[in-house]
Structure 1
Amino acid sequence: MEPKLDLLDSSGTLADLISTEDFMEHIRNIAIIAHVDHGKTTLVDCLLKQSGTFRANQATEERMMDSMDLEREKGITIRAKNAAFKYKDYHVNIVDTPGHADFGGEVERIMNMIDGVLLVVDAAEGPQAQTRFVLRKALEAGAKPIVVINKIDRDNAAPHKVLDQVFELFMALHATDEQLDFPVIYASAKQGFAKVEMNHESTTMEPLFDAVIKHIPPPRAHAGEEFKMLVANLDYSDYLGRIAFGKIVSGKVKLADPIVCIHGDGRKSKSKTTAIFHFEGMKRIEIQEAHAGDIIGITGFEDVFIGETITDIEDRQPLPFVPIDPPTIQMQFAVNDGPLAGQEGKLVTARHIRERLIKETRTNVALRVADTDMTSIFEVSGRGEMQIAILVEQMRREGYEVLVSRPEVIYRRDKEGNLQEPIEKLFLEVPKDAMGSIMENLANRRGEITNMNHIGDTVSIEAFIPTRGLIGFETDLVNQTRGMGVMSHLFHEYGADRGDIAARKNGSLVSMEDGEATTYALNMVQERGRLMVEPGDKIYTGMIVGENARENDIPVNPCKAKRLTNMRSQGDGKGIALDAPLKLSLERALEYISSDEYVEATPKSLRLRKKELDETKRKRTSQSRVVKVMEEPVA
């Protein structure tokens, strides 16, 4: 008979009678992984509710794990987050991970903490691009998978067909025989039930709870005296400083114990534990002692980063940290030097921007920041424009003003010196009647079609395409398929340079005056193209006020006022009907701008402008394709 396990007694310490081995046997560390919008966060909510984490009368929100405002607004998970629940005598630590490819770094680093994964797959859509990525990382880490086919209550659900596709995916990723023998759970996180077979009856998640306890192994940890923990996540407390989260690989740690941090560069710094945190539900509970196998948070070091080792004495060897995939795109962040700078934001200097970017790299391992020859410009590298757009949006909300350039891919050279660029694998589902225009678009972006299947009125397309060819493609897809197209993509490899790709076909309407936009002037400007501003907007020289109908840029005057005369007049702007202006979101604006343009992001406004505001100086600047080459050769 198994011993009864209460992980925490009334004082918040571990029960004295339970050995470390027994403690580890009753811990399960799992991650929820899936493609974006396949129901990870909803499933975590359901597990927390049905495990008794919340009181019966406790008010809870939908998607509780999406704690950031941007996560709730966009309906996606951006940061990996920890939670825990108790089921019978077991303590289950659970990590909710992002599903969007741009935030893959969050998935990669948490693989050091967990021993099993719940692979969630939509019962109608089946495995998608990010499903392949997250599953590959889980299999490489040796995590035990449980396949959860979610949304079986959908009208077009085909769970058995999806299961076959999942098995084929496991085979394609060279899963071991043990990994191929994965258990399957059919579920509806929204309805709150799970079952082992489709013909079973169930009204709760109990079959999934039982599968986690039965199939996920206890933590891979050692109950020795040698305390070691690999830092996999970071947070910050105004009272305690930096909090380092990770799984205890061996030994145990108590409050006020001396500890050593072995940094990435080999340095070793000493401190002592000022607090130890344990998860219960979504809350951090302060405890006195923690043992091998548990996922905890430790405070005591201000200078600690993801991938570093915390141990008990200086003589210990650091734990290996699996490096994550390198960034593939790069953008410039610059100080806002426009005429309207400082009017809306409070944090506008190069020092403010640099400190904020460095702070971001401490918790976002997929992001890299480098100084440039100009003290007011910084180069930020990441996985995709959405990842960096999220950072810009966060900075806007915190009171920063910043200029951001168009994404540029990071090139590198192989051992023979040949130029290579990042190639993505693209998955598309488009209506049949839009297939011709989409194929032409892909050809213009140097895409290579590898597979095509006709399924009813839709066509599924697989292609290899340069990362730079994807910039702006999503907008084209929405327009050409009238919103019916679906796309997902995944970094594939560095391949041979595909040559020039046609940039935006339309030029810009650039203001040549400072002032305020008038209806009278905009009525004349809109004859040249599509407007991006409205009457009353503040305008400055070099600001982009619209899209030209032709390929070249045109200087215009959107601030011109109607001259007053002694004759009777209809008045300034009266009776003039302007077309609705083109309003771009931040992600769309970053894709839209050309290489000689910036997006000016402030707490209240998004403006497009030329990098060089003076027209004469702009003409002198030669337009050339800049190639950024990484220093290390490709193996």
Structure 2
Amino acid sequence: MNKKIINIAVIAHVDAGKSTLVDAFLSQAGVFRANEEVKEQVMDSNDQERERGITIYSKNCAIEYNDYKINIVDTPGHADFSSEVERIMKTVDTVILLVDSSEGPMPQTRFVLSKALELGLKPILLINKIDKKDQRALEVVDEVLELFMELDANDEQLEFKTLFGIAREGIAQYSMDKESKDLSPLFETIIKQVGNYPLELVEQDAQLQISSLAYDSFIGRLGIGRLFKGTLKEGQQVSISKNDGSINREKISGLFVYQGLKRVSVKEAQAGDIVVISGIKDLTIGDTVNNVDKIDPLPPIIIEEPTMSMNFLVNTSPFAGKVGKFVTTRNIKERLDKELEVNVGLKVEALTDSSADGFKVLGRGELHLSVLIESMRREGFELGISRPEVVFKVGPNKEKLEPIEKVIVDVPSEYSGTVINKLNLRKGKMLDMDSDGVRDKVTYSVPTRGLIGFKSEFTNDTRGEGVMVKSLVGYEEYRGPIEGRNNGVLISMASGVSLPYALNNLEDRGILFIGPQVQVYDGMIVGLHSKDNDLEVNPTNAKKLTNTRSSGTDDAIKLTPPRKFTLEEALDFIEWDELVEVTPDDVRLRKKWLSSNERKQHRNDPH
């Protein structure tokens, strides 16, 4: 029973170095064996996290430093996973705010910092990557101080400690000119600021709030949270105060704490520690665990509402069921119900349209929902996904409100005019512009719906040299209609296999999405039309043979490589009358109504 327990969270914008800092914590605390091969960003254990290079799910680990146990929570930096950040804040004593020495505070920095300040936490600022050639660490400290003041930090919070470091090399130092060899200055600062968990709370009645959920195939659902008061024992009878006010009596069958990267079983856990309990089937986030005869529920954890929705439909294409294992409404419902148990930023509603077979899924953004779709695809699901739509609200005067995002773009000066023009067309409002003669940094306020499909355009317009970051700032009055995609699409009017001869003839019509020898069906989208209308084409058309043929008549046809879509790009591309067909092997584009006659009937129906 180690009574010196400290809980910390590492918060920052995407790519500031959170997971790298946690790697350094674990390494210097001796968690890894001397001969152990360790991956970078060891906490990013999920396949998609490693592929995308971002943290999606907050995760726990624990290290020993001197006679202290320090629980560390690695949090996501992307705005779409903010629900992961919100509930974790309640379980920690302090946060390490990581800021890039050249970028300074970014939009997501503001969000995660505001959550910490609202809960009364006093952050420790670590200016990371001070080895960069363009570092401006001291200026960045002033920018962070201004951000604290903008967020109404109290006097104590404004007296935050500042350190400088290189997370990749595991170095933290008290000042720019006071060099260090390891993270000792950061460890010492944490201990000095937080101190011991109050011992008198250990003697009180147990109080644990569930802040996240996990699932183990052997022992079932796991509830994770901080034990604020008292002690809990394996096999103990407890009362569970639910978010709806009801109280259940349950038994804790398993009790665990974190040790390094592992979850270890213990007989007893004490106040201050982050613990994991098993054996309670219907445990949900926000539930409070107390002693049976001493019920003392904590306020429920409130998560911000979703801002975007997509319809997850049963795949109705002619290729349905050829690859996937899970293709029915029941399969999809069971999987979404399972996701709801652990993904608190998600909501699922039944579709009101009787002609559609599926569910309306609401989340915190395109990335939040596309990560779920990608997970389902890899698990063997087949889905038809509709165009992303924002979630509108009604204001106090019955006015229509829509989600607004703050967008910061950093682009070479030669491309800034194009980007500014595009953002203006998407109902954006310029807030600030700064230039050093080579690159322009432009800040905009843009409706979320105006940013759907903008990312790929932005990459093309800036030749891949532009950087764009965005974060939700709230809801404002509806800014009016936004023009959609300017081009129509090429729609296959036949089923079969695409042939080089047919595709060669179609290249003059636009940009193709498929190559030769690809299975197509009637209603499948095979390319982007060069004009603004949809065009029905036959990619399976073969060259007619004649009786006489001379040598050299059939030279090899050279086709332009087709444009390939990632899942996110496909979701950005489609219009209201189109779907993305997602299977374990393929991501295809199709019309919602496959036959030409059906499309004519619904031509003017945007619903």
The TM tier, using the shorter chain, reads: over 0.9
Q: Aligned ranges for residues 287-298 of structure 1 at < 5 Å? A: 287-298=266-277
Of 137, 145, 149, the residue aligned with 2:127 is: 149
Q: In the alignment, what sits opposite 2:234? A: 255
Q: Which amino acid aligns with 1:51?
A: A
C-alpha displacement of 1:571: 9.8
Query: 1:334–1:376: 8 Å Cα contact kept in structure 2?
Result: yes
Moved more, 461-470 or 560-569: 560-569
Q: Aligned ranges for residues 397-546 of structure 1 at < 5 Å? A: 397-546=378-527
Q: Which amino acid aligns with 1:250?
A: K
C-alpha displacement of 1:425: 1.3
Of 368, 377, 385, the residue aligned with 1:396 is: 377
How far, CA to CA, are the matches of 2:150 and 2:328 in structure 1? 50
Q: In the alignment, what sits opposite 1:275? A: 254
Of 329, 333, 337, the residue aligned with 1:354 is: 333
What percent of counterpart residues are identical?
45
Q: In the alignment, what sits opposite 1:334? A: 313
Q: Which amino acid aligns with 2:206?
A: F
Q: In the alignment, what sits opposite 1:160? A: 138
How far, CA to CA, are the matches of 1:167 and 1:222 in structure 2? 34
Of 10, 33, 36, the residue aligned with 2:11 is: 33
Q: Aligned ranges for residues 59-458 of structure 1 at < 5 Å? A: 59-219=37-197, 222-313=201-292, 316-373=295-352, 374=354, 376-458=357-439
Query: 1:427–1:488: 8 Å Cα contact kept in structure 2?
Result: yes
**Structure 2 vs 1, CA of residues 386 and 571 (structure 1 numbering), >3 Å: closer, same or farther?**
farther
C-alpha displacement of 1:574: 5.1
**Structure 2 vs 1, CA of residues 618 and 219 (structure 1 numbering), >3 Å: closer, same or farther?**
farther
C-alpha displacement of 1:532: 0.2
1:561-589 per-position Cα deviation (integer Å, ceiling 9, x unaligned): 22233222679975111111010111111
**Structure 2 vs 1, CA of residues 148 and 545 (structure 1 numbering), >3 Å: closer, same or farther?**
same
Q: Secondary structure at the match of 2:321?
A: coil
C-alpha displacement of 1:272: 0.9
How far, CA to CA, are the matches of 2:500 and 2:586 in structure 1? 20
Q: In the alignment, what sits opposite 1:13? A: none
1:206-225 per-position Cα deviation (integer Å, ceiling 9, x unaligned): 11111111113545793344
C-alpha displacement of 1:614: 1.1
C-alpha displacement of 1:265: 2.2
Q: In the alignment, what sits opposite 1:610? A: 591
Q: Aligned ranges for residues 568-607 of structure 1 at < 5 Å? A: 568=549, 575-607=556-588
Moved more, 304-313 or 538-547: 304-313
Q: Which runs of 5+ in 2 are unaligned?
A: none
1:581-629 per-position Cα deviation (integer Å, ceiling 9, x unaligned): 0101111110011111111111110100011111111111143556xxx
1:529-550 per-position Cα deviation (integer Å, ceiling 9, x unaligned): 1000111111011100000011
How far, CA to CA, are the matches of 2:451 and 2:147 in structure 1? 24
Answering whether residue 35 of structure 2 is matched by residue 57 of structure 1, we say yes
Q: In the alignment, what sits opposite 1:12? A: none
**Structure 2 vs 1, CA of residues 458 and 572 (structure 1 numbering), >3 Å: closer, same or farther?**
same
C-alpha displacement of 1:317: 3.8
C-alpha displacement of 1:268: 2.7
How far, CA to CA, are the matches of 2:554 and 2:431 in structure 1? 55
Moved more, 245-254 or 212-221: 212-221
* RMSD, aligned α-carbons: 1.6
Q: In the alignment, what sits opposite 2:24? A: 46
Q: In the alignment, what sits opposite 2:604? A: 623
**Structure 2 vs 1, CA of residues 259 and 584 (structure 1 numbering), >3 Å: closer, same or farther?**
same
**Structure 2 vs 1, CA of residues 132 and 570 (structure 1 numbering), >3 Å: closer, same or farther?**
farther
How far, CA to CA, are the matches of 1:96 and 1:317 in structure 2? 29
How far, CA to CA, are the matches of 1:287 and 1:369 in structure 2? 37
Query: 1:519–1:573: 8 Å Cα contact kept in structure 2?
Result: no
How far, CA to CA, are the matches of 1:131 and 1:40 in structure 2? 12
C-alpha displacement of 1:507: 0.6
Query: 1:268–1:314: 8 Å Cα contact kept in structure 2?
Result: no
C-alpha displacement of 1:269: 2.6
1:363-399 per-position Cα deviation (integer Å, ceiling 9, x unaligned): 1111111111347220011111111111111111111
How far, CA to CA, are the matches of 2:224 and 2:261 in structure 1? 14
How far, CA to CA, are the matches of 2:498 and 2:456 in structure 1? 28
Query: 2:285–2:301: 8 Å Cα contact kept in structure 1?
Result: no
Q: Secondary structure at the match of 1:230?
A: strand
How far, CA to CA, are the matches of 1:569 and 1:548 in structure 2? 35
Q: Secondary structure at the match of 2:391?
A: strand
Query: 2:71–2:274: 8 Å Cα contact kept in structure 1?
Result: yes
Of 521, 534, 537, the residue aligned with 1:556 is: 537
Q: Secondary structure at the match of 1:223?
A: helix
